[in-house]
Structure 1
Amino acid sequence: MSVEEAIDLVDKCINEIRSRLVVAPPNFIIKIVDKDGAREYAWRQSVADTPAPSA
């Protein structure tokens, strides 16, 4: 799985969390852990930060 595919999957998971939980966390930090170590990749503050889910 490429980084782009993984980020797309994480964004879909964040959208599901926000749609299912009444009290969903407002912020999400996306971190990548690989052979080079751990690093912060992106920060999702609001629904506007994530792309709209395609139906």
Structure 2
Amino acid sequence: MAGEQKAKGKKEQAKGKAKETVGRAVGNESMEAEGRLEQSKGDARQAKEKAKDVFKH
């Protein structure tokens, strides 16, 4: 399950980065902000899972 959550976090990070890049390229600030938000969600999910791993060992 932890691996599944880590993968979901990576996916959110990648999707967010792509959305931010496209938003910047077309001048859409809203899309760019959405991309940064998705990246942040992915970062938070990754951090949470890493913290869980630390306490498991």
TM-score, normalised to structure 1's length? 0.46
Q: If you compute each CA radius of gyration, which structure gives the higher value, 1 or 2?
A: 2
Greater relative contact order (Cα < 8 A, sep 6+): 2
Which structure shows the higher helix fraction?
2
How high is the TM-score relative to the length of structure 2? 0.45
